[in-house]
Amino acid sequence: MMRSIWENELTLDEFLLDKNRVNSEQLAGIRRVHAMEGGGWAGHFVDAGAVTENELLQLLMAETALPYIPVLQITVADDLRREFTLDFLRTFECLPIDRIGPVLTMATPNPLQPELFRSRGTSQTAIHLYLCRVSEWRECLRRLQEKP
Amino acid sequence: MTRLLRQIYMLPRFVRVRLIAAFALMGVIPVLAAMYVMTTRFGMARVQLPMMSVLLLMCLILACLGLHVMRETIFGVIDVSRIVQELMRLRAHDPRAVSASELVRMDRLVSYMGDQVRAAQRMLDAYQASVREETRPFRLPPLVPAALLRTRVHEELAQAEVQRIPIGIFTWQLGDVSAREVADETLVPSWLQDVLRHSGIVLDALGRMRPGHWIGWTQRLNSVEVKRVAAQMHKAVPATLADRVSLAAWSHPADAVELRWLYLDDVDKAER
């Protein structure tokens, strides 16, 4: 499944356009805001009111068959907090969860980002992705930011 | 091929343009060289179609190979952690495979790139901060997960008391809630989206206390400002809902919001 997402290289904006969840006019506005503010796609679509967090989660679960993980109950390990900068986590809308041997587990509200695999996935390291809601991911980031 | 081209779109525009220009040059140079050799050796008239086809095919292969090499080179610089990982792996197997000077060179390169990245990030951050006001009408405030809402409100109120920074709190209530809104706690109703977009401020957070009952807050808003914003919000409520939407606003700690009070519904409040 990981492989197919990676090879497909469909981004979230294209995906939502394909699924008719956003019209071209809305998309143009969101793209403009995205270009100005940066960050990840999922947050922009939710903030624009184009799609709700639950709808987005359901669409992505159906598309990718990735499982959902309740990230609010997870504490990110210290070594992973050091490894990933907050800028990276914000831009690529992800949260490292755990690293066991060669497997790095991450949660994201937007798995349609080839950069996620590219950044850490090598022949020695496999990335396992889980899905989460945008608000849950943001709350985790807020906690990471507040934690000294 | 499509995948390869799409990956190139990760690169900044000027790098993309140069890469494509290099690809074109890599295709043209072998053609010119081969044409020169053939015309000087055999004469133009004797160059035949099969030979030209082979020549063009070879040029195409060379150009694609060149593009691949260039692409790998560029991505090799971008994915610097992979290069370092590879160096470490080689050194672990055989310490002589990677010299100390190579490691020093890599260390200096990573420091240099880190500095460049931080400088670029600072410039992008400054630009994004400058256009935030422009994008405000397009954005809803970040939603707080329903399970955490009560804790978050409590934290925000406590923080406002301790730090003595006023916090403006707004609640909106509409009795008639669609089945879709009841089922999806992340669905911000359209009337509330309108109200928020025309409020003139950016809320720090928004959450649903129960179906049809929403709460939002923003720091550094005193009582006067809260009243002004609340008046603007009142105006932004669609006319068809104006008599059914109830809006309340406080500035804490000046107006001393009690958390339990926020969670009471209208009937409980009337009884008290």
pTM for this prediction? 0.74
Rounded Cα distance between B267 and B216, Å, is: 22
Residues B184 and B258 reside in one and the same domain? yes
Provide the CATH number for the domain around residue B259.
Answer: 3.30.70.270
pLDDT in tens, B71-81: 877 777 777 88
| The pLDDT value given to residue B60 | 80
The answer to whether residue B135 is domain-embedded is no
The answer to whether residue B238 is domain-embedded is yes
Q: Of all helices (H) and strands (E), which one includes residue A130? A: strand A126-131
CB atoms closer than 10 angstroms to residue A107:
28
Residues B71 and B119 reside in one and the same domain? no
pLDDT band of residue A93 (cuts 50, 70, 90) is: very high
Residues B62 and B96 reside in one and the same domain? no
B62 within 8 A of B30, measured Cβ to Cβ: yes
Residues B41 and B96 reside in one and the same domain? no
- Smallest CA–CA distance, residue B126 to chain A, in Å, is 10
Inter-chain contact A36–B3, Cβ cutoff 8 Å? no
For residue B189, the chain A residue with the least C-alpha distance is A49
Residues B68 and B90 reside in one and the same domain? no
Residues B237 and B121 reside in one and the same domain? no
The answer to whether residue B232 is domain-embedded is yes
Rounded Cα distance between B65 and B75, Å, is: 15
Residues B150 and B246 reside in one and the same domain? yes
| The pLDDT value given to residue B58 | 82
Residues B262 and B146 reside in one and the same domain? yes
Highest mean pLDDT among A15-29, B43-57, B131-145: A15-29
The answer to whether residue B186 is domain-embedded is yes
The answer to whether residue B251 is domain-embedded is yes
Q: Would you say residue B254 has pLDDT above 90?
A: no
Residues B148 and B235 reside in one and the same domain? yes
The last residue of one of the domains, among B130, B148, B168, is B130
Residues B161 and B242 reside in one and the same domain? yes
Domain count for chain B, please give it.
3
Rounded Cα distance between B253 and A136, Å, is: 28
Residues B181 and B215 reside in one and the same domain? yes
Strand partners, A108: A131
- Interface ipTM: 0.81
- Smallest CA–CA distance, residue B108 to chain A, in Å, is 20
pLDDT in tens, A110-148: 999 877 877 777 667 788 999 999 999 999 999 998 876
Of A17-31, A92-106, B102-116, the poorest mean pLDDT is in: B102-116
Inter-chain contact B128–A49, Cβ cutoff 8 Å? no
Q: Domain limits at B144?
A: 140-271
pLDDT in tens, B200-252: 888 999 999 999 999 999 999 888 999 999 999 999 998 888 888 999 998 88
The answer to whether residue B221 is domain-embedded is yes
Share of chain B above pLDDT 70, in %: 85
- Smallest CA–CA distance, residue B50 to chain A, in Å, is 37
| The pLDDT value given to residue A1 | 45
Residues B156 and B266 reside in one and the same domain? yes
The answer to whether residue B43 is domain-embedded is yes
